[in-house]
Structure 1
């Protein structure tokens, strides 16, 4: 059997050694033999290159690679440094040369003194949150913790669990014990720290006990305890301490400012020989994780470090160097700085290196950046991979950038930190369906927003129009007077029971989601029967493997094919598949590290994340893409062209106090500042926050190697540029941005935008401009740019056909209502007949209901007004989906119409006899199939037939217009022709009338029509049949144009007029 599967080849990225020629400053560092050496340098002064060169030099001078330890702040950074060291030195080691502090601590605590010592397994921060929530919800621990009564309502919330975890984390990082935290609670007058310390103790005990009874199980430890446990092991075991001290003869720390106090204590315990630190306290981004950049200076002094400085800027052009220096000069205690160089401190010429643009909206900012990037790619040859967009934090800016870049055909890679997994549109439907299967989310109208989100996702494939059509189709199944059940309730029942009262073909999106829910529930039930909790990975797989797209293909297969095709949609599918892989990896790690835990805990942790948690999942590198990431992720990276966006008031700098209920930030600040008064601690924290935000700006600006673009927008009563943008704008332009006009948004550099400009130039008064535009359009068309081909222009195409809509011998359906509509405006009739009108509105559904209730007076003549009101009320949910005062108002108007009809019916009994309601008729007249139905057929005292047509709309007509009304004349023709399908009422017409119920009068308004000439109306029907099947339809101005539902398609109305003159 032939194998038709695409061949996919995975290629490992080539790692090339960084070219390095040391400066004099760098050479001094490399050659230094100091046992305690600290290198301080501003961004771009070559700290990383010097670190790598120092390690390579040490190996070449005889150091055993296994005796060298390089510590850094993150796993990706460690991988980058490790690759460069290995490729430049050619050395091999038994263990990684470069590690994070946590990786080192993990190896220390897993050092076994005896073969029977258990190993540790690290649980993630999100898993820790889940475990804390589980304990908080368990009443058996409450007496030992002794939470104050005022806190009890907060114990079950995610926010409280997160705050409790933060307090434990900050205390652990500072080597606090339970007892010390209780003591600090009394010193600082923080009464809630004591029960928090009691909880912390129980948390540690339960975490150890839970897995202690599992044979061969590893001990669980969280990230807040791993460093302190390593310190405890080194302190309590001289054998382990000496083993590590003897092992590492050279310890180098990268980005030392990102370390916290406990990590520095760990370093002191290990450092027996040489220690080299690289730091820039003004470039720290990890303060929210406990980093202590302001303590670097004190640490160096306390431990007698010799200090060397790198001051020569090697990365950035003069303008960006000058800007970075200006930003750094405003720190309270500037430590690292650049040498003055040739500029001698004078302001350098910008020369377009830095662009600060104030625009009118967030969307304009995104489009401005997209234009700049595309221009740099096309004109300057800058690779997409050498461009990046940096934001302060995730948010609406990500969506704006995604839209703008897609429109400009720019490939992007959104960093995982910029979008939490639980907020990823590709993942949210999986989470919601899993919660439905677990019973966490009930299929009730209260949760409709979540369920609708799943239906309109790619898992369901619905949209607003198809959902509306489903509601209409469902509503048609119900007879007036049945027990009320809204279309939402019916949809939810279909999803719950996987059974539908109408063909699945009409509700395919419901079928797709119902099938996935059914498969997910089967997985949950299978585990419940065996007495086990479902494995979250199994549940997610059941959902993913049964998901299909709108074409019926497996979603996994559809996304894979799309990703392999490339392009903008391929890039989106690639990102979605990466997110799914990350989800499975996170689920697997959760199941392994917390066996037996409730799967809902995993889903809760996903939904509570503000950024994506750390998950080690394999991802393919997409090569040439623009990176979009937060400033925290941009740390340590560099690009030729960088755009910084989101410099808005209140966003960046974000100076809102990170105040919390339990006050972990006060614990940190009290330890740092040694202050005791709460007011002084809060003021100190506010000042530290200002420094932190400026550090983030310093990092973002210094990522650019060649060009920097900074944007903000000014929108009245919405948002204004922040002081940071003002600072940069003044630096670039020499004036304030406050009174400056918004920058013009350049024309997009896409073929479509160019064609639009050239086509406008074809109308230019200047002959040379017109000729140039024409020649360029011809060139573009010759190169297969479809939008440049004149035959594709609106108005440039000839008519597709001038044939009649129906052949001359075809039968044409003509109804009295169509007869009237066509006479008023042929174009309106044709458009509506062809599907150009929207689906049934509330008014239309109300009209159907009133007609149905009116018809009941024939089958149930004894019905009272109260009976009719009751039946209308029971079915109201199917008519009007509004709530509150809108619903009340609409219902009141409906009752008014119903009352008018009932009174008219009661008064009319003595005048004429009701013969039939909703009476259908059909008759072939020439090529016309004359058909329709009559609301009321009545017989007068002389035995003649009288037709009544009910109108529930708000409009009314004059008596003169009623006399000319072709709909009423058509009904009379049905009488003359004896066209009624059931019993004929006779062929003598007494006339007809329109009965208006929705106008402003207090009673029903009847507009009669006298008997019409039989042959005259007959001729009108024959003529209408010919005109309705013709090839032209005339738009006619009339009194009803104002309320026309299709005037957006009418060429004689402003809303429907084309942009060209035909």
Structure 2
């Protein structure tokens, strides 16, 4: 088979059309899960292989360092090493470092990664609030203005025209914006927006610089083109310099960053700007089951198709899966407890925790779900928190690994064992601590150990220096290893990711669509697209839930999100009530009571044991010891963490209640039908005293 045939092997007809399109303007409209990254990397490799472009003359830009890193990795595997794949800002920074000293005769100014301090100082001088939330809002408004190519003078008219909700009176914001720019320039520092502004200005004002740049880069590829801002489009235009050797890839249905200045019109109007452009539509969804795909299509269709030339209808390519689920609860605590039970059920069925995600509209919603997962002893990680490679334990571990690699000589010890030896020196133990910060640190170190397993599986000859090099590459690209635990993330943070199971939670009016968007038609449309993005993150399992009140005993005043209309009728009458009621049921379930004192049970842990926290445990300690020993052995056999078999709280409940038959065992919270079938006989044998330690 020729190299060209290998590049085209396995592509569907539309992907192949995009890959083999001639140089020139190409617009790839790629729906969620349709293989866009595969398509554009194969296109670049195809152009290189045919000798139509030199790898070093290709500049591919995307919106996250992780996506750029993945693109570089794939291109290397396709024989197109040397292609520059970077974010817009990284590409601009690289160009400024090269051209700034030549044009301005001085070293490039320092980059300020966070503008918070400068904005706070400018706000303080004007007597404006310097509260953290207020400063963040002001910083975000400055970013929107600069991304929209607005100077302080032009801001008032543009903000009024677009109905912008300025965090302070417009006149005050203009003065703050001016003061921020003066302070920044006086300190000779740049913010991230300046990287793009100065790059564009330098190429526009210096013909020699523009000529040198355009001689170096001749072919451009832009991923996620629906998210381009006017500032980024200005940079792209000046890079091109009137040329049309440009491939763009995007999906208008996934435009969710308008608040930051993104404008999908650059994508939707691409055929108008380039009348000879080849337009290819990718609609075959290889990610999700037909059930998930069908629901996603209904979500987006309910909002009306604004432009049939760019609107995409996905066609699922995977085998059938379970129908998406809809759950309605009386309050948030009940919703969170139901979520924890559903996660535990899927884990018992073999779905890895790292392949599950809980997605919500804003980060403030996460607390109740964190608490429920913690009570159920289900590990989780929050996406959007501290970066993995910035964590103290990870930095210490990498220092130890680097020191060991520098002194390494050829050893007989295989890579996974050697890495664990080093990590043991900085805190990695054979079993995970029982919770809290210690467990989080352990999970970080264990993720590094499991990355060594992955590398060794693909490169059996890999040694410690090779492993450290892989870590350094991932750190530079902010591409952390997979950690065992459910991912909690906002819908925005989930963009570009996917999981086997996705739980969309808190789906009520005021949260989705969010309260401040409800009076504006275009904002509500964007909230619908955000919901669509959440739905399309799921490969197989999709569950949507909402609560009718915030706290227990509160009035059931909340309404399910309007986006659920036509999907679930408890929004229209056909949603399940929690985990216990059938379709269409509107009954309020009776409160669970302590079996010892009859007090109402409130937490997941209390419901498992059937007693309140104030009542003493009456567990059979000998039985509990036998159960733990059995669980450890079963977990080892199944090669899963012990909590996947049963969490500690379920073992404690079994030791307290000592069920003697299947019906009694099934009545313990945490013992679902799947676990009853897999482990029931063993557990009952242990309870009846015939199990061995």
TM-score range, shorter chain: 0.5 to 0.7
Given the alignment of the two structures, is residue 573 of structure 1 paired with residue 438 of structure 2, yes or no? yes
Given the alignment of the two structures, is residue 405 of structure 1 paired with residue 239 of structure 2, yes or no? no
Residue of structure 1 equivalent to 2:283: 311
Contact 2:147 2:261 in 1 (8 A): yes
Instruction: Pick closer, same or farther for the CA change 1:85–1:779 going to 2, 3 Å.
Output: same
Distance 2:573 2:87 in 1: 44
Residue of structure 2 equivalent to 1:60: 49
Residue of structure 2 equivalent to 1:827: none
Distance 2:175 2:571 in 1: 55
Structure 2 residue aligned with 1:696, among 522, 530, 545?
Answer: 530
Contact 2:30 2:282 in 1 (8 A): yes
Instruction: Pick closer, same or farther for the CA change 1:312–1:91 going to 2, 3 Å.
Output: closer
Contact 1:408 1:750 in 2 (8 A): no
Q: How much does 1:416 deviate?
A: 2.8
Distance 1:47 1:742 in 2: 46
Distance 2:498 2:162 in 1: 43
Residue of structure 2 equivalent to 1:225: 194
Residue of structure 1 equivalent to 2:219: 250
Distance 1:573 1:750 in 2: 21
Unaligned stretches of 5+ in structure 1? 1-16, 139-146, 211-218, 343-347, 428-558, 581-614, 659-682, 792-1062
Q: Deviations over 1:374-408 (max 9, x none)?
A: 333333x3223222222222124x33333333344
Residue of structure 1 equivalent to 2:233: 264
Q: Deviations over 1:676-729 (max 9, x none)?
A: xxxxxxx6xx11210111111111100111121112223451544322345432
Instruction: Pick closer, same or farther for the CA change 1:79–1:351 going to 2, 3 Å.
Output: closer
Distance 1:102 1:309 in 2: 28
Distance 1:637 1:742 in 2: 37
Residue of structure 2 equivalent to 1:631: 491
Q: How much does 1:256 deviate?
A: 0.7
Structure 2 residue aligned with 1:130, among 117, 120, 123?
Answer: 117
Distance 1:65 1:572 in 2: 46
Structure 1 residue aligned with 2:363, among 389, 394, 411?
Answer: 394
Distance 1:365 1:18 in 2: 48
Distance 1:82 1:743 in 2: 54
Q: Deviations over 1:140-169 (max 9, x none)?
A: xxxxxxx7xxxx4x3555555444433432
Unaligned stretches of 5+ in structure 2? 1-5, 394-423, 446-474, 578-583, 593-603, 609-644, 668-675
Q: Deviations over 1:211-259 (max 9, x none)?
A: xxxxxxxx41112332222111111011222222222222111111111
Given the alignment of the two structures, is residue 276 of structure 1 paired with residue 276 of structure 2, yes or no? no
Residue of structure 2 equivalent to 1:857: none
Number of aligned residue pairs: 542
1:143-292 map, 5 Å: 152=127, 154-158=128-132, 160-181=134-155, 193=170, 196-210=173-187, 219-271=188-240, 272-292=243-263
Given the alignment of the two structures, is residue 362 of structure 1 paired with residue 332 of structure 2, yes or no? yes
Structure 1 residue aligned with 2:504, among 644, 653, 656?
Answer: 644
Output the aligned Cα RMSD: 4.6
Given the alignment of the two structures, is residue 337 of structure 1 paired with residue 327 of structure 2, yes or no? no
Instruction: Pick closer, same or farther for the CA change 1:173–1:242 going to 2, 3 Å.
Output: same
Residue of structure 2 equivalent to 1:687: 521
Instruction: Pick closer, same or farther for the CA change 1:655–1:712 going to 2, 3 Å.
Output: same
Q: Deviations over 1:37-73 (max 9, x none)?
A: 1111321122222112212222222232211111111
Given the alignment of the two structures, is residue 70 of structure 1 paired with residue 60 of structure 2, yes or no? yes
Residue of structure 1 equivalent to 2:72: 82
Given the alignment of the two structures, is residue 97 of structure 1 paired with residue 88 of structure 2, yes or no? no
1:828-843 map, 5 Å: none
Moved more, 561-570 or 642-651: 561-570
1:906-921 map, 5 Å: none
Distance 2:162 2:314 in 1: 44
Distance 2:504 2:272 in 1: 36
Partner of 1:82, secondary structure, is helix
Partner of 1:656, secondary structure, is helix
Instruction: Pick closer, same or farther for the CA change 1:232–1:778 going to 2, 3 Å.
Output: closer
Contact 1:361 1:713 in 2 (8 A): yes
Q: Deviations over 1:338-389 (max 9, x none)?
A: 26689xxxxx99863311122333233333333333333333x322322222
Q: How much does 1:179 deviate?
A: 4.0
Larger Rg: 1
Instruction: Pick closer, same or farther for the CA change 1:387–1:34 going to 2, 3 Å.
Output: same
Contact 2:293 2:314 in 1 (8 A): no
Instruction: Pick closer, same or farther for the CA change 1:763–1:327 going to 2, 3 Å.
Output: closer
Distance 1:733 1:163 in 2: 37
Partner of 2:280, secondary structure, is strand
Partner of 1:636, secondary structure, is coil
Given the alignment of the two structures, is residue 710 of structure 1 paired with residue 544 of structure 2, yes or no? yes
Instruction: Pick closer, same or farther for the CA change 1:249–1:184 going to 2, 3 Å.
Output: closer
Instruction: Pick closer, same or farther for the CA change 1:52–1:238 going to 2, 3 Å.
Output: same
Instruction: Pick closer, same or farther for the CA change 1:32–1:687 going to 2, 3 Å.
Output: same
Q: Deviations over 1:176-213 (max 9, x none)?
A: 33443467689999995456445434433332223xxx
1:447-846 map, 5 Å: 564-567=429-432, 569=434, 572-573=437-438, 575=440, 621=481, 623-657=483-517, 686-715=520-549, 716-717=554-555, 719-730=558-569, 735=574, 740-741=585-586, 750=646, 753=650, 756=653, 759=657, 762=660, 779-780=682-683
Contact 1:121 1:221 in 2 (8 A): yes
Contact 1:642 1:703 in 2 (8 A): yes
Distance 2:206 2:646 in 1: 67
Q: How much does 1:567 deviate?
A: 2.8
Distance 1:309 1:111 in 2: 38
Instruction: Pick closer, same or farther for the CA change 1:309–1:779 going to 2, 3 Å.
Output: closer
Contact 1:75 1:100 in 2 (8 A): yes
Residue of structure 2 equivalent to 1:828: none
